[in-house]
Amino acid sequence: MFSGKQKLRVVGAAIALVILALAMSCTGFFVNPTWTTITIQPPSPAVAVGFSQTLTAWGTDTDGNRSQITHDLVWSLSDSSTGGTVATLDPNSGVFTGVAAGTVTITASSEGISGTATGTVAEEVSTMTITPANASIVGDGSQYEPYTIMSGSTNITSLVTLSAYQNGQTVSGLPCGYELGLAGDGTQDCLPDSTLVQSGSQTYSIVVTYAGYTGTSQVAATLTVSAQ
């Protein structure tokens, strides 16, 4: 038979064992999540020469949660240009500043994981034109419309972004991109998919976006897509 003091000792020892077991389980089975992937926002940063943009890094952890990384984060860039520095990037704040026209590779690193993005620096231009201004094609999934974008006598086709709009909304079934048609002619191409227009025809606005554009008027072309 245990005396009262012995019972207290046994109970105390049992409580201590329980506390120890809980402590071991917390450290042994519950591990702080770590980053598995890092992405940079915006995914394709673009600035004009002399202008800056603050980048952010977002991580997805081992629990599948996504959040902005605000500490233990280092920014760096790789500049492969031969004509001098294209941009600078503050390693702590992620401020991306354009120095000369060109592209760089931007890297955000934390806890041994890195994410990259391509940054573009654009020369400032006050005027842009898109050719053709009006075009019509059949939306059979294989035809595309090629565009050339000029600033005066300078061809800036490879530097711009084209986006299709209708009634103020982007059109997912009408992607545009540099050499999208793979013709090798240095054009920006818009390629409607075969389900975009089921009957008759639809008209879309092809809008030009360029980081270095200082003009006040939107630059766009009109594209009419007809059913097969």
Q: Which of 8-17, 21-30, 174-183, 216-225 has the highest mean pLDDT?
A: 216-225
pTM above 0.85, yes or no: no
129-226 and 35-122 share a CATH fold = yes
DSSP 41-101: ESSS-EEEBT-EEE-EEEEEETTS-EEE--SS-EEEEE---SSS--EEE-TTT-EEEE-SS
> What single DSSP character describes residue 2?
-
CATH architecture classification, 129-226: Sandwich (2.60)
Domain definitions of the chain by residue range:
35-122, 129-226
The CATH code belonging to domain 35-122 is 2.60.40.10
Residue scoring higher pLDDT (31 or 117): 117
How many helices and strands, by DSSP H and E, does the chain display? 1, 20
Task: Output the six-digit token pair for 84.
Answer: 């001098």
pLDDT, mean of residues 189-208: 95
202-227 residue pLDDT tens:
999 999 999 889 999 999 999 999 99
Task: Write the single-letter amino acid at 63.
Answer: D
